[in-house]
């Protein structure tokens, strides 16, 4: 289980070992909040528009970066997944809870 706190920290247990702070109002912050709010896929175009990404490539780069961070800092395989015609969602292998 991964938690997302009001202080913009993503963490798993134990928090001291598995914590990453997301910059407030950053692309990553907006992306995580949108994906948490939607329980299913969010289209690529919608994410680009709502988060303010410049292009599809910049969105893809941000998702890749968050997955690397999740693996390194949180000890999970990945936090987001994309599917060609559907868009992106929180990886179904984890439970992401807003605190």
The model's pLDDT over 62-98, given as tens digits with 9 standing for 90+, comes to 999 999 999 999 999 999 999 988 999 999 888 877 7
Q: Check residue 98 and give its pLDDT.
A: 74
Report which DSSP code applies to 42.
B
Q: Residue 33: is its pLDDT beyond 80?
A: yes
Q: Residue 11: is its pLDDT beyond 80?
A: yes
CB-based burial label for 51 (10 Å; 0-12, 13-18, 19+) = buried
Distance between CA atoms of 72 and 99, rounded to whole angstroms? 22
Q: Check residue 10 and give its pLDDT.
A: 93
Task: Provide the whole-model pTM.
Answer: 0.89
């Amino acid at each position: 289980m991964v938690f997302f706190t009001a202080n913009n920290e993503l963490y798993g247990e134990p928090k001291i070992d598995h914590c990453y702070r997301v910059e407030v109002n950053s692309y990553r912050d907006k992306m995580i909040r949108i994906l948490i709010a939607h329980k299913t896929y969010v289209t690529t175009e919608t994410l680009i528009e709502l988060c303010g990404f410049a292009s599809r490539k910049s969105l893809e780069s941000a998702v890749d970066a968050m997955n690397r961070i999740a693996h390194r800092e949180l000890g999970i395989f990945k936090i987001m997944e994309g599917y060609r015609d559907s868009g992106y969602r929180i990886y179904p292998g984890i439970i992401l809870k807003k605190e």
